[in-house]
Structure 1
């Protein structure tokens, strides 16, 4: 998507493209979710996201924000390639940094439905995402929503992820959903 293509347009269920002016709201949602994960001892994300982690996707129009009662409730980024999925990536959309401010029934599904609609509108028939292999609750959630586990891959962790004595690599589970 080109920056500004859908800017300001609110799609069904209160989802709209996030703009650079939404940086603090997106970071609040991501950091709230990251803190929950760290509290569960799941090292899927850094403990805190810096602004630089979201800037490019916000400028490119790749990040979406879910609003509920005028307040930011969830976010996700959809990209058109992912290095964890080598080979031809032209058939898929890739969901990154899917997060909700408060775990609430339905917000994740609403965001994933928007990602599926967006992916189909770009002529792609697969939706892909990933999570830490140790995050069994999220793996179960993805499978319940129709994603199929494809494989696990090991990735090197950046220093922001590591705690004293923790491993330097993380096992990531890759999931895929056929949209047609």
Structure 2
């Protein structure tokens, strides 16, 4: 979307109230319990927004002269008084139901503002029992960081530290027999993000030989910063690892700690086998889908998807699909224009629709 992040103006207040009322009706219609069961409009009346406007704390995402998202941004937040990092807190985020991506774009730009102010984190909270919203925030890199109680409200605090200008390790977890393009396709794309640092790991470190005979010198997994992004390939080497309890335990620990988890091809079978994907949507190489699904019966497998995203987990179909997924991941973090520019730079025709899976018939052969 073409939009502008700005301080709210007096003329935005009626529009913001209309966005809130529309969201409350939507929550009633969809069975989501949050603002509609906490007397939200009484707790946050118009006078509250007028005060936030006067104090310069109310911000809006402008699209064509109209506010399509808005929130209060605080540099001091009593709900986080026990947290040491300097941060910017987001409260009362509301976005338009028309179109898609306004809330996501507002948070991306709020992260840029936090970084410009010298903050080390962007924070928010949401209802602890709102699974869909928690998955949305998890997908954006907001990690769980405690709870909050305020009257009828029971919330989960979330914190995002991978702000613009702050480095994030991309931890490629390699093993004997992995597929070349599974790793180096996404790695080429992620390397275009200046804040991302590619690192290469294996279970015990040392040289790892892949399915095509490529030799890579790796660090031991114990040396990884687990708070980074996990990149897990597939390939023939996943078959023996699916029954390797020690490896699966290491993978589960790393996946749980990672801010983001990206798997390519049958890498998702390993994430399923260690239990990390339980209750999440996922896909895999369509020629190996029957085997992948057998590795995790609690996973919500999709037999027609180029790639999936569910919370912090991204999974792709076979081999080249990892590049489409990686560009989708970049678009979610940095905006669609950034992803499209990377695709142009590497002269790659991006399949940007995760549901456009021309190879799904392979799962039925």
Alignment partner of 2:8 out of 6, 15, 18: 18
Residue 88 of structure 1: CA displacement?
5.3
Where structure 1 has 5 or more consecutive residues not aligned to the other structure, the ranges are 1-11, 157-168
TM (norm. structure 2) is 0.40
1 CA distance for matches of 2:32 and 2:137? 20
1 CA distance for matches of 2:13 and 2:100? 25
Q: Which structure 1 residue ranges, 4+ long, deviate > 6 Å from structure 2?
A: none
1:43 aligns with 2:45: no
Q: Is the 8 A contact 1:18 1:58 kept in 2?
A: yes
Between 84-93 and 94-103, the greater mean CA deviation after superposition:
84-93
1 CA distance for matches of 2:40 and 2:148? 22
Between 78-87 and 102-111, the greater mean CA deviation after superposition:
102-111
Deviations 1:128-178 (A, max 9, x none): 00011111111000000111011222221xxxxxxxxxxxx3210100000
2 CA distance for matches of 1:144 and 1:104? 19
Alignment partner of 2:64 out of 69, 75, 82: 69
Partner of 1:170: 153
2 CA distance for matches of 1:151 and 1:139? 13
Structure with higher RCO (Cα < 8 A, 6+ apart): 1
2 CA distance for matches of 1:151 and 1:143? 14
Q: Relative to structure 1, is the Cα distance of residues 135 and 88 closer, same or farther in structure 2, using a 3 angstrom cutoff? A: closer
**1:84 counterpart SS class:** helix
Q: Relative to structure 1, is the Cα distance of residues 74 and 133 closer, same or farther in structure 2, using a 3 angstrom cutoff? A: same
Q: What are the equivalent positions in structure 2 for 1:130-169 lying under 5 Å apart? A: 130-156=125-151, 169=152
2 CA distance for matches of 1:22 and 1:90? 32
TM (norm. structure 1) is 0.77
**1:81 counterpart SS class:** coil
As a proportion of its length, which structure holds more strand? 1
Q: Relative to structure 1, is the Cα distance of residues 81 and 38 closer, same or farther in structure 2, using a 3 angstrom cutoff? A: farther
2 CA distance for matches of 1:151 and 1:104? 32
Q: Is the 8 A contact 1:74 1:101 kept in 2?
A: yes
2 CA distance for matches of 1:127 and 1:143? 13
Partner of 2:124: 129
Residue 103 of structure 1: CA displacement?
5.6
Partner of 2:181: none
Residue 13 of structure 1: CA displacement?
2.2
Residue 114 of structure 1: CA displacement?
1.5
Would you say how many aligned residue pairs link Structure 1 and Structure 2? Answer: 157
Q: Is the 8 A contact 1:17 1:64 kept in 2?
A: yes
**2:111 counterpart SS class:** helix
Q: Is the 8 A contact 1:14 1:66 kept in 2?
A: yes
